[in-house]
Structure 1
Amino acid sequence: MSLFVEFHLIQNFAPSNLNRDDTGAPKDAVFGGYRRARVSSQCFKRAIRLTADFPLPNQGIRTKKLLEMLRGQLQQQYGRTAEDLDSRIETALSAAGLKLKEDGKTEYLLFLGQQEIDGFAALIDLHWEALATPAGGEKKSKKDAKASAPADVAQQAKTIMNGGKALDVALFGRMLADLPAVNQDAACQVAHAISTHRVEREFDYFTAVDDMGAADEPGVGMIGQVEFNSATFYRYAVVDPAKLVANLQGDRELALTGLHALVQAVARAIPSGKQNTFAAHNPPSFIGVVIRHASPLNLANAFEKPVYARNGEALTSPSVAALAAYEQQLAAVYGNGQDRWAYLDLTQAWPQDKGERQTSLAALADWVVAQLRPELEQ
């Protein structure tokens, strides 16, 4: 039977510019015929990754600086200081199918588990002599570097690329253009966050004073403007726990540990864009988690008709109420009657008979693990 864990959040941000487009303006989108504030899924996924308390070494690193990382690890951990150190590293990476540019960086961002990086360092140390450049030899071309790698190095290098049981790699997936065999389909999908109401961009006109300005000089040293908005967002994400276990090479306990951390990270994650200017550290007003068995249900259409604040009412309360009402309609048609909800609600707008109310974020994470453990052990 299919199994999904969904996250539904209502989160109001004070004036901010959390996620900018190419002009520096807050990202937005037209939804239901109205302009909405938007924060991209990539933006929130990075915030979640940086917030999540995933255990070491079950974490991933996204970088082009693999050569630099391996150089430092070989020098500090293994005491390797040969002149052809970089050449040995490049030969080992070439054996796995990873190419380096002239500046020593990989051709594109790699998303690797820490265990994979550690594995490459150990492999290079193990085959140190076999990877050496012949005395007086010239620097190898990329093609020659791959061809010159010993066969057992090439074979072991490819086995290292297994995801390294990195929870963020397993959750959010990766694509390596040169190594399609080691790609991982994401176990977690994250939607773009959109405002539950229509928004308009606003502008902050600012000036900066030169502290060392003379009396006969203009007082203003700089003039500029920053675009911003303020919005109540609907956020949605869904996890396939069985896919997560598969990406983690069948390790159910690690998957449950990762999900426990993910629940808290999804709630605590706040994008870093322009925070020095706006300090919009506003946690969600509502966090709902549902265990579904039929199919995932994104509830964004609850806000196809924008929510409006009436009679001094906050936008968060009608947003939560609209979310509950639409979910009731949708689940009656597309659900299978086995959905189980738990929630944290600061608005008091979520129906009290719809799921188990939790008193803390940690308790909500505990509930998710308790619900999933018996289903993953079947």
Structure 2
Amino acid sequence: MSLFVEFHLIQNFAPSNLNRDDTGAPKDAVFGGYRRARVSSQCFKRAIRLTADFPAQHQGIRTKKLLELLRIQLREQHGHQADDLDSRIESALSAAGLKLKDDGKTEYLLFLGQQEINGFADLIHTHWDALAAPAGGEKKSKKDAKASAPAELVKQAKQIMNGGKALDVALFGRMLADMPEVNQDAACQVAHAISTHRVEREFDYFTAVDDKGGADEAGAGMIGQVEFNSATFYRYAVVDPAKLKSNLQGDRELLLTGLRALTLAIARAIPTGKQNTFAAHNPPSFIGVAIRHASPLNLANAFEKPIYARNGEALTEPSVSTLAAYDSQLSAVYGDEHDRWAYVDLSGAWPQAKGEFKPTLNALADWVVEQVGRELEH
């Protein structure tokens, strides 16, 4: 039987510009024929990665500066100070199929587990002499460097690129264009967050005073404007525990540790865009977790018809109640009898009979671990 862990959140942000487009305006989208506020999935995934309390040895690093990271490890942990240190590092990376540009950076951003980086440092240390460049030798191409490397070194270099049991790599996946064999399909899919209601952009005209301006200097030292909006968002993410376990090389305990940290991080993650200007640190009013068995169900279509504030009510409460009603409608057709919900609800609008109420975020995270752990035993 399939198993999916879904996260459904209703989150109202005060005036903010959390995720900007190329003009500096808040991102948006047309949905159901109406303009909606939007925060991209990439934006929220980064916020989740930065928030999640993953064990240090099971974290990923997204960077082009692999040479610099290996240089530091080889000097500080292995004591290598040779003048040709960078050349040896480059030879080892070439054996794995990775090329460095003239500036010492990789050709594109790599998403590597800390264990993979450690593995490369250990590999270079172990094969230190074999990686030394011939005296007076010219710099080799990636293809030539790989061909001239000892077969055992090439084999070990390829084995290092296995994801390193990094939780964020396992959850969100990675793609290396010229090394498809080390790609990882994401175990967690994250939707773009969209507002449950129609949104218009607003403009903040601001001025700044020159503290050292003289009495004869009238007017502002600087003027400008920034666009912003305020919106109640529906956020959705889904995890395939079986895929996550596979990405983590079958480590069940690490999977459960990661799911607990992910549950906490999804609720606490807030994008950093323009926060010095707006300080929109507004946590979700509703966090629902659905355990599905037939197929994932994104409930965004609950808001195809925009929510409107009526009779003085806030947008959050009708958003939560509309979400609950739509899930009941959709689940009756596409759900499974073993599906179940648990939730944290500050709005008071989620039906009490629909799932298990949890008083705290930690209690909700514990429930996720308990449910998935039980399912994995069968």
**Which TM-score bucket, shorter chain as reference?**
over 0.9
SS of residue in 1 equivalent to 2:221: strand
What one-letter code is carried by the residue in structure 2 that aligns with 1:189?
Q
More displaced stretch, 135-144 vs 175-184? 135-144
Asked if residue 197 in structure 1 is aligned to residue 236 in structure 2, the reply is: no
Partner of 1:337: 337
Q: List gaps (5 residues or longer) in structure 2.
A: none
CA contact (8 A) 1:288 1:344 kept: yes
Q: Could you tell me how far 1:141 is from its partner in structure 2?
A: 3.5
Name the aligned partner's letter for residue 356 of structure 1: E
- State the Cα RMSD in Å: 0.8
Is 2:183 the counterpart of 1:163? no
In structure 1, C-alpha distance between the alignment counterparts of 2:82 and 2:55, rounded to whole Å: 34
Determine the structure 2 residue equivalent to 1:60: 60
Q: CA deviation at 1:191?
A: 0.2
Q: Could you tell me whether the CA contact under 8 Å between 1:88 and 1:132 is conserved in 2? A: yes
CA distance in 1, matches of 2:148, 2:222: 58
Query: Is residue 16–residue 230 contact of structure 1 (8 Å, CA) maintained in 2?
Result: yes
1:12 corresponds to: 12
2:310 aligned residue: 310
CA distance in 1, matches of 2:245, 2:124: 30
Matches within 5 A, 1:16-35: 16-35=16-35
1:251 corresponding residue in structure 2: 251
1:288 counterpart = 2:295: no
User: Contact conserved, 1:91 with 1:148, CA < 8 A, in 2?
Assistant: no
The answer for the alignment partner of 1:139 in structure 2 is 139
- 1:178 corresponds to which letter in structure 2? D
SS of 1:291's equivalent in the other structure is strand
Residue in 1 that maps onto 2:42? 42
Within 2, Cα distance between the matches of 1:231 and 1:354?
Answer: 26
Deviation sequence 1:21-59 (CA, Å, 0-9, x none): 010000000000000000000000000000000012000
Asked if the contact 1:62–1:110 (Cα under 8 Å) also holds between the matched residues in 2, the reply is: yes
Q: Following TM superposition, by how much is the alpha carbon of 1:217 offset from its aligned partner in structure 2, in angstroms?
A: 1.8
* SS of match in other structure, 1:54: coil
Residue 82 of structure 1 corresponds to which residue in structure 2?
A: 82
The offset of 1:140, in angstroms, is 3.0
Q: Aligned AA for 1:199? A: V
Partners of 2:173 and 2:103 lie apart in 1 by 27
SS of the equivalent of 2:255 reads helix
**Any idea what the Cα deviations from partners look like across 1:127-169, whole Å, max 9, x if unmatched?**
0000001223333333332232221111100000000000000
TM-score by length of 2: 0.99
2:58 is paired with a residue whose SS is coil
CA contact (8 A) 1:116 1:160 kept: yes
Give the letter for the 2:189 counterpart: Q
Aligned to 2:151: 151
Specify the code of the residue in structure 2 equivalent to 1:338: H
- Deviation track 1:315-345 (CA, whole Å, cap 9, x = no partner) reads 0000000000000100001012221100000
Distance 2:199 2:256 in 1: 39
Alignment partners' CA distance in 2, 1:247 and 1:60: 13
The 5-angstrom pairing of residues 243-282 of structure 1 reads 243-282=243-282
Does residue 109 of structure 1 match 2:121? Answer: no
CA contact (8 A) 2:358 2:364 kept: yes
- 8 Å Cα contact 1:213/1:219 also seen in 2: no
Q: Per the alignment, in what secondary structure is the counterpart of residue 57 of structure 2?
A: coil
SS in 2 for 1:302: helix
Instruction: Please say which of residues 214-223 and 92-101 is displaced more in the overlay.
Output: 214-223
How far did residue 311 of structure 1 move?
1.2
Return structure 1 stretches of 4+ with deviation > 2 angstroms: 135-148
2:215 corresponds to which residue? Answer: 215
Once the 2 structures are TM-superposed, how far is the Cα of residue 178 of structure 1 from its aligned partner?
1.4
- Partners of 2:97 and 2:142 within 8 A in 1: no
Question: Quick one: distance in 1 between partners of 2:122 and 2:240?
Answer: 33
Residue identity opposite 1:146 in structure 2 = K
Match of 2:324 in 1: 324
Quick one: distance in 2 between partners of 1:56 and 1:50? 12
Identity of matched residues, %: 83
Q: Tell me the equivalent position of 1:359.
A: 359
Amino acid at match of 2:39: V
Q: Is the 8 A contact 1:210 1:219 kept in 2?
A: no
- The one-letter amino acid of 1:280's match is A
Letter of the 2:62 counterpart: R
* CA apart distance, 1:263: 0.3
Q: How many residues align?
A: 378
Give 2:130's aligned residue: 130
- Conserved? CA contact 2:98–2:142, under 8 Å: no
The alignment partner of 1:206 has SS state of strand
Answer whether contact 2:195 2:233 (CA < 8 A) is retained: yes
Cα offset, 1:218, TM superposition: 3.1
